[in-house]
Chains A and B, each alone.
Chain A
Amino acid sequence: MRDQFGRAVRRVAGRDGPNPWRWVLRDIDIKIEPGESVGFVGPNGAGKSTLLKIVSGVMFPHSGNVAVRGRIGALLEVSSGIHPDLTGRENITIFGSLLGFGKTEIERKFDEIVAFAELEDAVDRQAKFYSSGMKTRLGFSIAAFLEPEVLIVDEVLAVGDQIFQQKCLDRMRAVLDSGATLMLVSHDLASVGATANRGIWLNEGAVMADGPIDDVLALYRKDIESRSAENAELQGVVSISEFATSSPSGNGIESQSPVTISFALDSPDTRQVAVFVGVSQGPATPIFVSTRTTHLREGKSDHSVTIANLPLPAGNYYVWIAVRDPVARKDLTPWQPLGPLAVGGVGRLDPLPRAIVRLAPVYVEAQWNEH
């Protein structure tokens, strides 16, 4: 209030202070067809939630237009729609009617909602005695079971436990199979990849990329890599240089073929170290890691690690490294990105049915037989 007043005074007085507001969304031009399932990714503050709020009609844009056809079931921080003083049963009928659903429809779906939310006998208990997971489950169930034509989901998966997350994904698939349109915001890129068929990457309010989900996720992961490379503390006790990747077979780095990762370590003294080398796709969580304990002499030494049959499908990856003191159990050089690893060849991941989340991209050769 005070800053609003101050702004008004400044405006009246004609004095220009520093502009106190910024564009949360810029130049958005998106058309989503019925039946599409769109995953929105991007860092915090990119404008994902604001975009969904504008689409659901809760917020209004400064400029531009939004047109929505069909009934929206919006899941925006769902648990806050649950009233703590009411029982689960009352919340279902009342929150359902708040979402715009008729009484008969709610009654028809009531048992399914309760079963899905795993409330059991807690339906007749006041919602303030629910755990946060129960509240989210209840909110999700109400919105997802009342057959919306457009389902808007903003980061609700993160709250439930793993079993419920899988149920949510299955439910979203069922909603999609019934012909509904899905708009999904999540930081869990694997879930987004498993649910959406179109991806939109937002950054600082702008659409960075819009297209098939896998392509958009690949671009976004690449961006995460370069950001985490910038943020990493690159210096440690042991410094790392001369990163290179090569193919011992001479055929290029491909799925199921050997690859050698080489680098130089520069140590200030003679010591025992454990070297960790891993490969990741995007953030610091590696797909696999190889470790070796060795003695470093004072000065620079060359090292290499060869992976016999690279288990990765074709794509872009990043090599990460850490050097630790195995005796003192201390980081000498913290886990940090070392350099890119481009994998070529024909190794591609087989497409999965919707709502099945692949934990990490691993390529295996498989032989199918019919007996």
Chain B
Amino acid sequence: MSDTGDARNGDREVRITDVGALPDSPPSELRYRRELQVLEAVRRLFASRSIITGLIVRQIRSQYSQQFLGIAWAIITPFAQALLFSVLLSKAGTNTGIETLGVPRVLFFYGGLLAWSFFAGSLQSGGNSLVGNPLLNKVYAPREVFPLAQIASSGVNAAAGALVLPALFLITGHGPTATAVWTPLLFIPLIAITVAWTLVVAAITVYLRDLRSGLPLLVQLGMFSPGVLYPMSAIIEGPWRLVYTAFLPIGPMVEEIRSTFLLGQSPDFAVVATASISAFVYLSGCFVFFKRLETGFADVS
């Protein structure tokens, strides 16, 4: 019933397989092993950037559709938290060990929470971006596009949250300091750590769903880690700062961003260098880890 004049049909015989003769398992030399070439993987990821932008638009549009306040929630949440902390801590007295160094408390907390909420939001939404994702076995793309798109959406939310900063500057009468020129540079290690950890959380969550339940708790605890709401120096002294930074660079990076932007302090180069090296190591290790587990995602999730 094919096209008249279709030559391809005529020269082929039907080939019938003797199913009984099929081997029980494939020869071991055919075992599928995907060679992991990091450069090639990065190149393919770059080629998929239109997919990432598509996913970001899709995520943000659907996140705020049918909401009255919409993207304003990106401001409300960290602002309410900052307000809560500043009111709570000023009522509880001054001996809480939190030194805001002359910066109004609201601003101090808001700055830290904004950077932290980018990290925490990425970890939570990106971590869950693979499990139960209907697109995972419908559309081919390097799997990291799904967590990356979530990270980028968190970035958009954080940027929206930053829009309220000028208003806060006006109200509090405290503006960004001259050392703020360093701040954009400090975003690089922050983003690298965020990407690295989100990839790992996303990959592990596919296989170990416990992380889905446990992650909110871990993120909540992380908010109280040194550097996020109070200076690291308040509880960690001397060279231990660098050891701590090497393992958990996120808190120290939040602190560096805040102190350069608001407190007029130059970056602590030892801390920033340690955090950057750590971020690079985390990023390469986590990317390889993710790509190793990637082949099973469509089967398990």
Contacts and interface: CB of A to CB of B under 8 A. Distances in A.
Interface size class of B (residues with CB under 8 A): 35 or more
B136 interface: yes
Nearest to A193: B1
Contacts of A211: 12-15
Given A74-B138, A208-B17, A90 B61 contact: yes
A350 to B, nearest CB: 8
Interface in B13-40: 13-17, 19, 22-23, 25-28, 30-32, 34
Residue from B1, B4, B9, B138 whose CB has the most chain A CB atoms within 10 Å: B1
A296 interface: no
Interface stretch (B46-54, B100-108, B118-126, B221-229): B46-54
Contacts of B139: 58, 74, 81, 98-99
Interface on chain B toward A: helix, strand, loop, or mixed SS?
Answer: loop
Interface in A27-84: 27, 33, 36, 53, 56-65, 72, 74, 76-78, 80-81, 83
Contact of B209 (A1, A27, A85, A207): A1
Contacts of A72: 140
A126 B32 contact: no
A349 B1 contact: yes
A74 B141 CA distance: 12
A215 B14 CA distance: 7
Contacts of B2: 196-197, 212-214, 351, 354
A95 B141 CA distance: 13
Interface string B112-145: 0000000000000000000000111111110000
A229 interface: no
A330 B4 CA distance: 47
Contact of A76 (B15, B19, B65, B138): B138
Nearest to A97: B54
Interface string B49-90: 011011101100110011000000000000000000000000
B65 A100 contact: no
A208 B141 contact: no
A59 B298 contact: yes
Residue from A64, A98, A204 whose CB has the most chain B CB atoms within 10 Å: A98
Interface residues of A, number: 65
Residue from B4, B50, B140, B210 whose CB has the most chain A CB atoms within 10 Å: B140
Nearest to A75: B138
Contacts of A95: 54
A353 B4 contact: yes
A358 B2 CA distance: 12
Given A60-B32, A80-B134, A90-B61, A219 B50 contact: no
B14 A216 contact: yes
B44 to A, nearest CB: 11
B8 interface: yes
Contacts of A76: 137-138
B32 A61 contact: yes
A100 B8 contact: no
A334 B257 CA distance: 79
Contacts of A33: 8
B284 interface: no
A94 interface: yes
A177 B57 CA distance: 35
Interface in B207-221: 207-210
A83 B58 contact: yes
Contacts of A61: 32
A4 B14 contact: no
B6 interface: yes
Nearest to A197: B2
Q: Which 9 A-B pairs have the closest CB atoms?
A: A211-B14, A97-B54, A85-B62, A57-B140, A60-B295, A197-B2, A63-B26, A215-B14, A80-B134
23 contacts: A23-B25, A26-B23, A36-B8, A56-B140, A58-B298, A61-B32, A63-B31, A77-B138, A78-B138, A86-B65, A90-B61, A94-B58, A98-B139, A193-B1, A204-B19, A208-B17, A208-B19, A214-B2, A216-B14, A349-B1, A351-B4, A352-B1, A354-B3
Given A23-B25, A78-B138, A349-B1, 10 more contacts: A61-B32, A62-B32, A63-B31, A74-B140, A83-B62, A93-B57, A98-B55, A206-B19, A214-B2, A351-B4
